[in-house]
Structure 1
């Protein structure tokens, strides 16, 4: 899935965790109209990160959505596999963003027979659709199985620590509007923190001026904290090489070529680079 949006909004999940019918992920063209990324900022950030950490050529893009970032990595010369659970997204990606090999996979637990990768990329908070510890363990076990020795995990996601005492993104609904194929769409998005489940819950109501009934959709992200993330990764045999809040493709100001990673983990995004350590 992809979410080229501001820091207070995100794209709909590409059925990455078995979600039901979804207006955007069931209509990939509408998705790209709502979240345009003409400069391929997320793909460029991912390629720069892979290159700067010496990643090999074989890349798995987990939660690839419409395939924009996977195709950018392919054009950069990498051998790319894009994986997503949404068949609508995969069909669209094969047609509109060709080059990578696209296949269906559930990021919470997957096995890609006879495929080995030098890096796994998981952008746009896709990792956070692992809501439970068991799902997060399943994701990391699966990543470990398909990574070559010394392979990299590169992820970009929301930062659970940002919501400790902050309500910037919770105080009021966010309203967005755009027009696609002559129809004006409006979304009203409300975020709330479920502290018991450690989830950031989202309710989004869609309306359109074509007279169709409003549609309410719900989703959630796991809120992971920086030290918690380090601990979980270490338990699965990964060494964290970089963990910082910005700059990145969805920060303000956004990442640009030549920008150095920050040293804090305080803002609303986290950017992770971890290496799989050799086994004894």
Structure 2
């Protein structure tokens, strides 16, 4: 068995799309609906754009889109398979693409939760504040830390999955555990394939952010929360569909936030935490 230093799906974008298909582009359509309802301008930064599926759909809907990701493999795939947006390499922990270059920053698929520490969250939100025009929006979709308060149904028990890609069956066994000290949801995933390749073990983690904590972080960086809810969304049950309005609870396993930048500068930070990490789009 090998222990991979990178993410198998991130390093193989076509495999990522096969594992997480979104043929109806629900994530992009949900995002577009949020932007439309709150009157966002035309310029969008998709932070953690991954394979570029959502960025390209938003581009096709008439928006001027920059797709940003840390993975060179993802960016190369996006340029080839989902052309239209401008694709750039950037780290969500801190990026500078220019002041006021966008009217909305989009961060989907729990990408924001790769900010594990308070310093990294401050870096992300400060970068968003710098990139956004006055009154710009931040739209994010992620796992909900509050779901794990007292619930263990997703924890500690290995879960198996399989899919076929180019005739090869890929299987994964995933175990989630809560690291309460660092406030992280840790994931151990073992990949096997029926092509005779060696099994690969991978470990990653998401920050567990709670709804009220998120409100505080956003306010400290000059954002007014317009929506904060657990559904409907592109990964909820039931799924979001055209015409559905946001709910008012934050109890289920996904969290959706729309916030407007009301102050373009602030000296407030949330304080430092230890540890560093880098991340890109993932489920």
Q: Following TM superposition, where does structure 1 have runs of at least 4 consecutive aligned residues deviating by more than 4 angstroms? A: none
For the residues of structure 1 that align with 2:49 and 2:13, how far apart are their CA atoms? 12
Q: 1:115 to 1:104 in 2, by over 3 A?
A: farther
Q: Which residue of the partner structure matches residue 52 of structure 1?
A: 37
Deviates more, 1:53-62 or 1:109-118: 109-118
Equivalent in 183, 186, 208 of residue 223 of structure 1: 208
SS of 1:24's equivalent? helix
For the residues of structure 2 that align with 1:148 and 1:113, how far apart are their CA atoms? 10
Please state if 1:102 is matched with 2:87: yes
Equivalent in 120, 126, 132 of residue 141 of structure 1: 126
* Structure with greater contact order relative to length (CA < 8 Å, sep ≥ 6): 2
Q: Which residue of the partner structure matches residue 117 of structure 2?
A: 132
Could you list the per-position Cα deviations for residues 170-209 of structure 1 after superposition, in whole angstroms to 9, with x for gaps in the alignment?
1521111011111111000000000110000000000011
Q: Gapped runs of 5+ residues in structure 1? A: 1-18
**Given the two structures, how large is their TM-score scaled by the length of structure 1?**
0.92
Q: Gapped runs of 5+ residues in structure 2? A: 266-283
Could you list the per-position Cα deviations for residues 199-245 of structure 1 after superposition, in whole angstroms to 9, with x for gaps in the alignment?
00000000011111110000000000000000011100000011000
Q: 1:175 to 1:253 in 2, by over 3 A?
A: same
CA-CA distance at 1:113 after TM superposition: 3.0
For the residues of structure 1 that align with 2:5 and 2:72, how far apart are their CA atoms? 13
Could you list the per-position Cα deviations for residues 98-155 of structure 1 after superposition, in whole angstroms to 9, with x for gaps in the alignment?
0000000000001113661000000010000000000000000000000000000000
**What are the residue-to-residue correspondences of 1:112-191 with 2, within 5 Å?**
112-113=97-98, 116-191=101-176
Over aligned residue pairs, what C-alpha RMSD do you find? 1.2
SS of 1:167's equivalent? coil
**What are the residue-to-residue correspondences of 1:69-108 with 2, within 5 Å?**
69-108=54-93
**Given the two structures, how large is their TM-score scaled by the length of structure 2?**
0.91
CA-CA distance at 1:22 after TM superposition: 2.1
SS of 1:151's equivalent? strand
Aligned residue pairs: how many? 262
For the residues of structure 2 that align with 1:89 and 1:265, how far apart are their CA atoms? 32
Could you list the per-position Cα deviations for residues 244-272 of structure 1 after superposition, in whole angstroms to 9, with x for gaps in the alignment?
00000000111000011001000001000
